Amino acid sequence: MAEQVFHHPDIYRIDVPLTGNPLKNLNSYVIKDQGESMVIDTGFRNEECLKVLMKGLQELGISPERTNLFVTHLHSDHIGLAQYFDYPDTKIYMGQRESYYFRKLLYGKVREERARLYVAEGYPKEKYYESDHRNPARIFMPNQEFFVTEITDGARIRIGNVEVTALEMPGHTPGLMCCYLEKEKVMFTTDHVLFDITPNITNWLGMEEPLGCYLKNLDRILEYEVLHTFPAHRNLSDKTLQQRVEEIKRHHRIRLEEIRKGKGEVIREERETDRGIQHFYILK
């Protein structure tokens, strides 16, 4: 079901379920104006997500053959169904840097490089591939290539009379992009800023200091005047963007202090889980 979350222009949210995933859902947004439309993110490449997304678009009188798509970043819950929007009269927008990483993922190059790093750190090679084959990030990715219109930071996209500015905010991924409607003071924060949970920051091959990069771009997003914030997961919030950014920064300061206090007291405990993950604990 499509829920209208903003008027003038018309912006709708389609709540796409991510069944069995801790994220719970993906907020796919649709901007409509003057007979034109653009979808922001899609959900996993599976039957449930496809059915819900297409039903929501149908309610809005939109078909994938006649709408553009903006993919904020390469994670499968955002890009999974992108191939279903690949038509001669449509455009699939994606950041240039993110598109590069996505191609490497699609053809398995990133997994090969990551496997070498895991093995070099002592992780059993067979366990890496075993867990990788069960990883939703792999299972629900697009399984075929599609044409991407690559964009860079500051690119402007028009939907009817609405102007959308793409803002590259690396951290969560190497080239994640938020969408900003300057006139309406609307920001689609995707996974850069979430309200119910904190975004996952991990290591990316070829990306230096992803956490530092993320924190820097938390400051950068506050440079824009925002009255309405639309995140990619869970619930919308009455909190301001600035309030939530400060909460996330405080969270990371606390975690850093915990690590500093635990210096010299860190132990490693290995425990088998359903994904074969090794856990690390910090003693206080």
Cβ–Cβ contacts within 10 Å for residue 76, how many? 24
Beta partners for residue 39, in sequence order: 30, 69
**Arithmetic mean of pLDDT, 93-106:** 94
- Classify the phi-psi angles of 203: left when phi > 0, otherwise alpha if psi is within -120 to 50, otherwise beta: beta
* Main-chain dihedrals φ then ψ at residue 257, nearest 5 degrees: -65, -35
Q: Where are the domains of the chain?
A: 2-244
- pLDDT single digits (tens) 136-163: 888 999 999 999 999 999 999 999 999 9
What is the rounded CA–CA span in Å between residue 169 and residue 245?
14
- What is the number of residues in the chain? 284
Average pLDDT, the chain: 91
pLDDT at 275 over 80: no
Q: Which of 144-153, 205-214, 252-261 has the lowest mean pLDDT?
A: 252-261
Q: Which of 29-43, 68-82, 134-148 has the lowest mean pLDDT?
A: 134-148
pLDDT category of residue 269 using cuts at 50, 70 and 90? low
* Main-chain dihedrals φ then ψ at residue 243, nearest 5 degrees: -60, -45
What is the rounded CA–CA span in Å between residue 166 and residue 189?
11
pLDDT category of residue 284 using cuts at 50, 70 and 90? very low
pLDDT at 74 over 80: yes
pLDDT category of residue 108 using cuts at 50, 70 and 90? confident
pLDDT at 82 over 50: yes
Residue 129 makes CB contacts below 8 A (sequence gap 6+) with 115
What is the rounded CA–CA span in Å between residue 110 and residue 101?
8
The residue that leads in pLDDT, 276 or 37, is 37
CA gyration radius, the chain: 19
Q: What is the pLDDT of residue 282?
A: 46
Alpha-carbon distances, residue 188 vs 23, 54, 63, 198, 231 (angstroms): 17, 21, 22, 16, 6
Distance of CA 137 to the CA centre of its chain: 11
pLDDT at 36 over 80: yes
Q: What is the pLDDT of residue 277?
A: 43
Q: Which CATH class is domain 2-244?
A: alpha beta
- The sign one gets for the Cα dihedral 156, 157, 159, 160 is positive
Q: Which two tokens stand for residue 248?
A: 């996330």
Instruction: Count each helix (H run) and each strand (E run) in the chain, helices first.
Output: 8, 14
At 198, the amino acid letter reads: T
pTM higher than 0.85: yes
Q: What is the pLDDT of residue 234?
A: 96
pLDDT at 276 over 80: no
